[in-house]
């Protein structure tokens, strides 16, 4: 069966690329027009040179009256060709980088709409590699396609037309040998795509590995894993070297193979033209033969370029395919068309027979039911992996339950827009996240228009004002995305500050006359895990004031932090095994009492 230059999947990817290029059709038409003009000017030059050669043949037979106008014409053509190519390259650059910019914007916008399950199941570095490295590789191939593919095809077509108008026999000789060059290019190109695809995937694996190790360098050093991780990197690096060498080697065969075919074409043109010029009565002159030899070079040169372009396009399409895989990954289930935002949130939350698992073969939460009244403080405790944080993920609709339903104020959460649902919660997690920017920008992330007084009030309420004031630039101190030199506890305090300003409701009085904007419901997932005991006591008092009258969910390992909770849920293997307040659960002398005594029996004894 005859193999196509591009396989079915490659052709589909190419169609998607062309749809994106179509947005800039006027620039593409301008590029094609300039390409055609430069090709025509380039083909006129050999004709002028041939006529000049015919004007100087023979001793003392140089016709300067013929040569000088021809030389001026050659100079004009060369100058116009150079100008046209410069403008064409500028236009091609604009098209290429606009298309890549659009793809990156689409990718980033789509990442924001991807379900958390996709982010959790794909290495972050591999996703970054698709948006950055693969997009760059695609840009290189696309730019080469614009700069060489268009001009190459037009050069072949126009050269054949010029040659055919001068001498049909020699033109037929050239055309007869051309399929050999095309066969060689296609034979190699169809075998390099899989190699470039593997190279791109391995590069993504390497990027993910580096990103993960750099982000956890302290852990690697603490456990003495430097040598083991270096060996793992060497193994990935060797695989990348191997597949890159294979892809480069096979793709590099294209140029010398097509050059050999081109040399054959040149030799046949020279031989046929010379014999024709020596034939008595032939219209072929030495100048025409010179022009034909020049045309032979111009005709065969694009085949070298096109074969190189096709090889580069294999790499570009492989990278584009990975980028489109990201862009076309299934987005999270959209909000229902009739979804209505929450109004006047009271904070009643109900779970009814909720079932959920991250993977189908490993059930986590089964038939979970719970009713939380407005204003209640609900603490969730249990061993690691019992489903505590999963309840928070379901409550915030980071994941949707596999069965059952979660309702807020009597409404199924799936009938509430995610943005509205999440706006009703203030959340502080054990894992902190800060963006690159000033301390002020990080505190006011949930309320970008917050005033200076509101930012300071939030910091004072979270007991972060004192350490912020000691920073070199105070609230204007710039930190990196990992918090820079801030301690883990300081970063967690900044995250607590955010909660003080993220609500949309009425303002509440804060410390020293400032105002706070607290959400109607709170989620605290080990919110003080990295804070010293003295500061934790102050934060707990601030949390107690925050939680007054608000529905609050507190995930805690340190049971001392949840003694005052209205309801304590004790979880094991996705089920609530005990439920009650601190005193009643201790009196039951069950699993909660076992957990509590394991932490405090020694201290209280």
**Could you read off the pLDDT of 56-100 as tens digits, one per residue?**
765 556 676 677 887 888 888 889 989 988 998 888 888 888 888
Stretch 104-131: mean pLDDT = 83
**Gap between the Cα atoms of 282 and 194, Å rounded:** 52
**Gap between the Cα atoms of 141 and 185, Å rounded:** 17
Q: What pLDDT does residue 307 have? A: 63
Q: Which residue has the tokens 């070079």?
A: 297
Q: What pLDDT does residue 109 have? A: 87
Report residue 602's pLDDT band, with 50, 70 and 90 as the boundaries. Answer: very low
Res 497 pLDDT > 80: yes
Are domains 8-192+251-327 and 342-424+520-605 of this chain identical in fold?
A: no
Domain boundaries, the chain: 8-192+251-327, 342-424+520-605, 435-515
Stretch 206-233: mean pLDDT = 82
Q: What pLDDT does residue 506 have? A: 66
**Gap between the Cα atoms of 69 and 49, Å rounded:** 11
Q: What pLDDT does residue 603 have? A: 46
Contact yes or no for 477/438 (Cβ under 8 A): yes
Contact yes or no for 99/84 (Cβ under 8 A): no
Res 8 pLDDT > 80: no
**Gap between the Cα atoms of 488 and 531, Å rounded:** 8
The better pLDDT of the pair 157, 2 is held by 157
Q: CB 320: neighbour CB atoms within 10 A?
A: 29
Least confident of 205-209, 287-291, 443-447: 287-291
Q: What is the DSSP letter of 486?
A: -
CATH class of 435-515: alpha beta
Tell me the CATH number for domain 342-424+520-605: 3.40.50.300
The better pLDDT of the pair 240, 46 is held by 240
Stretch 200-221: mean pLDDT = 80
Q: What pLDDT does residue 604 have? A: 45
Tell me the CATH number for domain 8-192+251-327: 1.20.1560.10
The per-residue pLDDT for range 333-361, each reduced to its tens digit, is: 888 788 888 888 888 888 888 888 887 77
Stretch 452-481: mean pLDDT = 86
Q: What pLDDT does residue 83 have? A: 92
Q: What pLDDT does residue 1 have? A: 35
* Concatenated DSSP letters of 171-199: HHHHHHHHHHHHHHHHHHHHHHHHHHHHH
Res 186 pLDDT > 70: no
**Gap between the Cα atoms of 356 and 117, Å rounded:** 13
Give the three-state DSSP class for 570. Answer: strand
The per-residue pLDDT for range 372-393, each reduced to its tens digit, is: 888 888 888 887 777 777 888 8
Least confident of 174-188, 230-244, 454-468, 575-589: 174-188
CB burial of 234-247 (b: ≥16 within 10 Å; e: otherwise) equals eebeeebeebbebb
Q: What percent of the chain has pLDDT over 90?
A: 1
The per-residue pLDDT for range 11-43, each reduced to its tens digit, is: 788 788 888 888 888 888 888 888 888 888 887
The per-residue pLDDT for range 299-320, each reduced to its tens digit, is: 767 766 666 677 677 778 888 8
Stretch 281-296: mean pLDDT = 71
Give the three-state DSSP class for 569. Answer: strand
Residue ranges of alpha helices (H) inside 55-115 are 64-113
Q: What is the DSSP letter of 58?
A: S
Least Cα distance to 539 among 512, 554, 508, 561 occurs for 561
Q: What percent of the chain has pLDDT over 70?
A: 86
Res 528 pLDDT > 80: no
Res 55 pLDDT > 70: no
């Amino acid at each position: 069966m005859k193999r196509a230059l591009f396989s079915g999947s490659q052709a589909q990817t190419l169609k998607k690329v062309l749809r994106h290029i179509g947005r800039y059709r006027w620039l593409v038409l301008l590029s094609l027009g300039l390409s055609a003009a430069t090709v025509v000017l380039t083909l006129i030059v050999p004709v002028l040179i041939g006529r000049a050669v015919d004007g100087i043949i023979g001793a003392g037979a140089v016709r300067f009256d013929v040569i000088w106008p021809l030389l001026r014409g050659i100079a004009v053509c060369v100058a116009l060709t150079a100008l046209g190519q410069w403008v064409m390259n500028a236009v091609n650059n604009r098209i290429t980088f606009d298309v890549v910019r659009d793809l990156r914007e689409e990718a980033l916008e789509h990442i924001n709409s991807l379900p958390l399950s996709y982010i959790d199941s794909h290495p972050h570095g591999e996703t970054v590699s698709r948006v950055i490295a693969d997009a760059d590789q695609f840009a290189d191939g696309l730019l080469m396609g614009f700069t060489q593919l268009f001009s190459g095809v037009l050069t072949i077509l126009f050269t054949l037309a010029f040659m055919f108008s001068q001498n049909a026999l020699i033109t037929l000789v050239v055309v007869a040998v051309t399929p050999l060059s095309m066969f060689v290019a296609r034979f190699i190109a169809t075998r390099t795509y899989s190699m470039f695809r593997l190279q791109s995937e391995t590069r993504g694996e390497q990027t993910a590995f580096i990103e993960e190790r750099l982000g956890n360098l302290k852990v690697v050093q603490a456990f003495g894993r430097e040598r083991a991780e270096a060996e793992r990197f060497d193994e990935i690096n060797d695989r990348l070297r191997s597949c890159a060498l294979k892809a480069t080697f096979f793709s590099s065969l294209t140029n010398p193979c097509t050059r050999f075919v081109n040399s054959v074409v040149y030799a046949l043109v020279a031989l046929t033209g010379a014999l024709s010029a020596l034939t008595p009565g032939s219209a072929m002159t030495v100048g025409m033969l010179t022009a034909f030899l020049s045309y032979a070079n111009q005709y065969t040169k694009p085949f070298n370029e096109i074969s190189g372009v096709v090889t580069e396009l294999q790499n570009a399409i492989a990278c584009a395919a990975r980028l489109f895989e990201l862009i076309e990954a299934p987005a999270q289930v959209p909000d229902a068309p009739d979804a209505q935002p929450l109004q006047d949130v009271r904070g009643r939350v109900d779970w009814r027979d909720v079932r959920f698992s991250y993977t189908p073969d490993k059930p986590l939460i089964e038939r979970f039911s719970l009713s939380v009244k407005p204003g209640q403080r609900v603490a969730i405790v249990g061993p690691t992996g019992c489903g505590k944080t999963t309840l928070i993920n379901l409550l915030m609709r980071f994941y949707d339950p596999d069965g059952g339903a979660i309702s807020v104020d009597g409404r199924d959460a799936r009938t509430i827009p995610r943005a509205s649902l999440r706006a009703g919660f203030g959340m502080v997690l054990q894992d902190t996240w800060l963006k690159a920017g000033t301390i002020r920008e990080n505190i006011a992330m949930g309320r970008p228009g917050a005033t200076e007084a509101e930012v300071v009030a939030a910091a004072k309420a979270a007991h972060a004002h004192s350490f912020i004031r000691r920073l070199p630039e105070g609230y204007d101190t710039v930190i990196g995305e990992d918090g820079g030199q801030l301690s883990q506890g300081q970063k967690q305090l900044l995250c607590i500050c955010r909660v003080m300003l993220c609500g949309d409701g009425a303002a509440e009085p804060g410390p020293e006359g400032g105002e706070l904007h607290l959400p109607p419901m709170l989620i605290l997932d080990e919110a003080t895990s990295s804070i010293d005991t003295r500061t934790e006591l102050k934060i707990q008092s601030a949390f107690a004031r925050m939680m007054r009258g608000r529905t609050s969910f507190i995930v805690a390992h340190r049971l001392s932090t949840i003694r005052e909770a209205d309801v304590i849920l004790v979880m094991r293997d996705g089920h609530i095994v005990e439920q009650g307040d601190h005193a009643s659960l201790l009196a039951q002398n069950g699993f909660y009492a076992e957990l509590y005594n394991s932490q405090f029996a020694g201290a209280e004894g």
